[in-house]
Amino acid sequence: MKKLLLGLALLAAGTGSYAQSYYSIKKIGVADSYDWQYGLTNGNVLLNKPNNDVLSSSQTVPFSFTLFGNSYTSYKVSDNGYLTFDTSASTSDNTPATLPSASKPQNSIFGFWADLELKAAPAPNANFPVKVLNYSYGTSPNRVHVIQWFGVSKKGAAIAANSDVLAFAVRLYEDSHFDVVYSWGGNANFTGSVGTQDAGNNAYTISGSPSFSFPLTAGASQKNADAIIYTFKSGTQPDWDASVISSTIKNVVKLGNVNVAGVVTNYGKSTINTFDINYSVDGGATVTKNITGVNIAPGGGTYSFTHPTAWVPATPGKLYACKIWASNLNGNNDANPSDDEFNVSCFVNEGLNGTKHVLLEEGSGAWCGYCPDGHLIMTSILEDPNYAGKVFGVVHHNGDGMTNANSDIINSKFATGYPFGMIDRTLFSGQTSVGLSRNLWVQNVDAKLNAPTPVDVTITNKKYDPATRKLTFTVKANFADYYMGDLRLNAFIVEDKVRGADVHSTWTQHQYYSKQGSAAGGPSHPLYELPEWMVGYVHNHVVRKVNPIATSSAWGDAGIIPTIVSKGDTYTQNYSYTIPVLKTVTGILGKNTLPCNLCNENDGDGMNKPSDIKIIGFVSMYDATDITKYEVLNSMEESSVWGTGVTEKRVSTISVSSLYPNPTQDVINVELNLTQSANVAVTITDVAGKLVQTVANKSLPNGASMLPLSTLALQNGIYFMTLNVNGQSVTHRFVVAH
């Protein structure tokens, strides 16, 4: 994660009898697992809209927090941007003033104290989240408790733009320092007070308070990278104070050399030119290296280091505790050595791998005009011969006729806008969110296919009873290596060719690429000639059910896989799903205003079709406090009818190595291989399964051949070519763009 830190020394002089009881450091960029949007779906809502000049009920801190020498475990929150440890308080103060002041909130931390309120924004942003919430993350002794104000606005002011609402948070750390993270919005009209005071005439505020201007952030899409942070520490800012704030050591590492690397921050008033970087493992011997020739600016400057002596763990399957710290700052002792350490627990395995598959999850909705472009990209990935059998795709629908409760939970956690995609729910290097724009899907699918995995996933015991419409199966995880974490078995029930009646944004798919509408991609886009509202649109890879067992958690269920697994361990989970009664579609013929080869306007089956049901089983990580730790380790896909008495065809006579050019204008060339000479029959269908072209049998010899096929008679759009040989067939997708 990029960390750009601005160093400012003592930012402001406090007032009161102990003016230097706190000092502050300004920096840019979140240096840990905090995510500014995490609380929206995972936090506890303390105050909701509409509300003004109110205090929350008493809240609990999960550890003892010390402010001005006094320890607290509970507090109340005001909509006016502060929290108070005086839980006897009953009124909220909306008028910031110079501190200390006996008439103002006592034993309080002021994140941005101003006359604020919680109110709904007018259209088109009426659903913008507005709330005050809290949550915690991390493990002892490094826990962090977050109090966040999201979407608050100036009392009485109109909300005309995103900059008219604020998002900021106070974070309480288990070592009893705190900071304020400014993540969103603000303009020159927002002024307030930032700091803290106790009940005994001691206070510290940022310079400019109570008329301190809300810090403006630089951009709207990377709030973790460009968040402005003020860190508050007790005491007087020392000359020499440095802390290791992060490390590249992962929670699971491979047996062998492990680089000890990270970032050290200078919290002191003096520039650091030399220092020692140290580490120890399980309380063992300290490994020290003196670093020279650096220039770490005071008050927040940083330096990225790699210790020249790698750590070499000895035992696989073991959890190690690694401690990293800085010392000997320009030959001086660190003033606060107790808060210098960065502690990381890491589990060691042998680096053995299973057979990797990639799970591509798309967030979509029938109302979403950009989403059909995401569907095309997913289809191109899944139909690419290089990815066949290696990449599995699903679509989590939002706000339409295909939504389910657990897909809603998944979308709400990872959505960055629709459509978005997740590649094994991984946070990739250089990205600030797990959810990815569709232009990033292909490159990151490639990256994950080459990534190691400790586990193989299979789907067994598949049975389907046509009389009861009940489908049962088992997902099995077989570990090729040692691993550690909160691991969950899970499954998706997925259906293809789903469609419904002519209801806009429910079944009928909107799209912005049509020449009838925005024509977002221009005339060359495959959707350009199709209608803006695609009636009878055929929705594929639709997630119908997540985790089809009684508890039905979106993230799988704890306790099936233990926290530490050994090489060779196997774990299973049984699932059952009763396919609902078949839904048919009638009366939508002729609704489209332009031809739509992605649509099926004919009467017929629409939903709950056993033949179109697939199962995807997978193993994923889980961490309730860290959005980046939901990674899918491996997955597998199977047709639901395989193993139920229906014989699965195993194609061995024919294989297709390439279709080119794809997209094509007039001719598409098929490169194929036959294990014996044979007649090859070719049929072409559209995405709705409608036959649009038949090519006469071609007699081809054993071995490699090239078969050119004319596409001049086909309209622009997506098609599927099926080659049949001796009762066996292969199907591949191609695009026509004249």
Residue 469 scores a pLDDT above 70: yes
Residues 668-685, mean pLDDT to the nearest whole number: 84
Residues 328-333, mean pLDDT to the nearest whole number: 95
CATH label of the domain that carries residue 309: 2.60.40.10
Q: Do 626 and 699 fall within a single domain?
A: no
Residues 539-552, mean pLDDT to the nearest whole number: 92
Give the Cα separation of 344 and 228 in Å (integer). 26
Which helix (H) or strand (E) segment is 561 a member of?
A: none
Of 16-25, 142-151, 633-642, 674-683, the poorest mean pLDDT is in: 16-25
Q: Do 584 and 461 fall within a single domain?
A: yes
How much is the pLDDT for 18? 37
125 pLDDT band (50/70/90 cuts)? Answer: low
Last residue of a domain, one of 216, 234, 252: 234
How much is the pLDDT for 606? 93
> CA geometry: angle at 103 spanning 99 and 105, to 5°?
70
Q: Do 433 and 455 fall within a single domain?
A: yes
Residue 13 scores a pLDDT above 70: no
How much is the pLDDT for 222? 57
Proportion of the chain above pLDDT 70, given as a percent: 91
484 pLDDT band (50/70/90 cuts)? Answer: very high
How much is the pLDDT for 216? 73
Question: What residues does 12 pair with on adjacent strands?
Answer: none
Proportion of the chain above pLDDT 90, given as a percent: 58
Q: Do 206 and 261 fall within a single domain?
A: no
Q: Do 520 and 630 fall within a single domain?
A: yes
Give the Cα separation of 180 and 83 in Å (integer). 12
Of 221-230, 478-487, 614-623, 691-700, the poorest mean pLDDT is in: 221-230
Residue 1 scores a pLDDT above 70: no
Q: From 8, 228, 50, select the one nearest 152 (Cα to Cα).
A: 50
Residue 219 scores a pLDDT above 70: no
Residues 37-50, mean pLDDT to the nearest whole number: 86
Residue 647 scores a pLDDT above 60: no
Last residue of a domain, one of 234, 259, 293: 234
With respect to residue 14, please indicate whether it lies within any of the assigned structural domains.
no
Structure-token match 């597998």, residue found = 636
CATH label of the domain that carries residue 726: 2.60.40.1930
Residue 703 scores a pLDDT above 50: yes
Q: 223-232, 484-493, 677-686 — which one is most confidently predicted on average?
A: 484-493
C-alpha torsion angle, residues 501, 507, 513, 516 (rounded to 10):
30
With respect to residue 629, please indicate whether it lies within any of the assigned structural domains.
yes
With respect to residue 6, please indicate whether it lies within any of the assigned structural domains.
no
pLDDT tens per residue, range 70-95: 999 999 999 999 999 999 999 999 99
Q: Do 611 and 699 fall within a single domain?
A: no
Give the Cα separation of 371 and 383 in Å (integer). 18
643 pLDDT band (50/70/90 cuts)? Answer: very low
217 pLDDT band (50/70/90 cuts)? Answer: low
How much is the pLDDT for 53? 96
DSSP state of 375: H
Lookup: tokens for 49: 């809209």
Q: How many Cα atoms are found within 13 Å in the side-chain-facing hemisphere of 260?
A: 28
How much is the pLDDT for 215? 85
| Dihedral sign of CA atoms 252, 254, 260, 265 in order | negative
Helices assigned H by DSSP within 62-158: none
Residue 650 scores a pLDDT above 50: no
Residues 519-540, mean pLDDT to the nearest whole number: 94
With respect to residue 472, please indicate whether it lies within any of the assigned structural domains.
yes
With respect to residue 251, please indicate whether it lies within any of the assigned structural domains.
yes
Of 280-289, 331-340, 396-405, 554-563, the poorest mean pLDDT is in: 331-340
How much is the pLDDT for 123? 58
Q: Do 253 and 381 fall within a single domain?
A: no
Q: 189-193, 413-417, 630-634 — which one is most confidently predicted on average?
A: 630-634
With respect to residue 229, please indicate whether it lies within any of the assigned structural domains.
yes
The pTM of the full predicted model, rounded to 2 decimals, is 0.67
Give the Cα separation of 561 and 572 in Å (integer). 8
Q: Do 419 and 566 fall within a single domain?
A: yes
Domain enclosing residue 127, as ranges: 22-234
686 pLDDT band (50/70/90 cuts)? Answer: confident
Q: Do 327 and 392 fall within a single domain?
A: no
How much is the pLDDT for 4? 30
What's the structural domain count of the chain? 4
640 pLDDT band (50/70/90 cuts)? Answer: low
With respect to residue 8, please indicate whether it lies within any of the assigned structural domains.
no
Of 165-169, 494-498, 678-682, 729-733, the poorest mean pLDDT is in: 729-733
Q: How many Cα atoms are found within 13 Å in the side-chain-facing hemisphere of 489?
A: 25
Lookup: tokens for 53: 């000049």
Q: Do 516 and 423 fall within a single domain?
A: yes
Residues 728-736, mean pLDDT to the nearest whole number: 79
Last residue of a domain, one of 615, 639, 663: 639
Residue 235 scores a pLDDT above 90: no
With respect to residue 137, please indicate whether it lies within any of the assigned structural domains.
yes
Q: Do 391 and 307 fall within a single domain?
A: no
Give the Cα separation of 219 and 512 in Å (integer). 26
Residue 499 scores a pLDDT above 80: yes
Residues 336-354, mean pLDDT to the nearest whole number: 86
Residue 6 scores a pLDDT above 50: no
- On whether the CB atoms of residues 731 and 720 are closer than 8 A, the answer is yes
Question: What residues does 26 pair with on adjacent strands?
Answer: 230
Q: Do 170 and 302 fall within a single domain?
A: no
